[in-house]
Structure 1
Amino acid sequence: MTRAEFSAELQALGAKIREKRSVAGLSQEGLADACGLDRTYVGGVERGERNLGFVNLLRIAKALEVDPSDLLTGIRAGSGE
């Protein structure tokens, strides 16, 4: 399966990260600094343009002070959400 086939799921994950970041009161730059990632990478993840690796998912969850599973709740492969 290609990355394009999971576009909806990547967008749903990005929206969940954006929501948690907003609740935490962080900018994209603030989140990027907190987890050691580039701001443009975080922006791409939030827009569903980047295929987020597991280690980076853990970094983002730690910076947001949430369990990684909280970022994946409600997202099912092939469901688009």
Structure 2
Amino acid sequence: MTGGMGCVQCGTRSNPCRCKVLGPTLGCVAFLAAAIVEWPVGAFVYLFKHVKGRRIMAHPATVVYPKVSRAIPI
């Protein structure tokens, strides 16, 4: 069962649909934690160096969330 209404066991040990819940959830938590620190720093740096500031502010979305989400296969 890979689609539609047949995938009702999402989150159980059998997990026939290969539903990812834990990885994206922890990725979101890591994203928020990194964003709380990096966005104010990035905004300050942006005042002097626009490209560097944008890169700092984008880091949680482009690096932190994807790495954490992919690292946990459930």
Coarse TM-score class (shorter-chain normalised)? 0.3 to 0.5
Normalization by structure 2: what TM-score? Answer: 0.38
Normalization by structure 1: what TM-score? Answer: 0.35
User: Which has the higher Rg, Structure 1 or Structure 2?
Assistant: 2
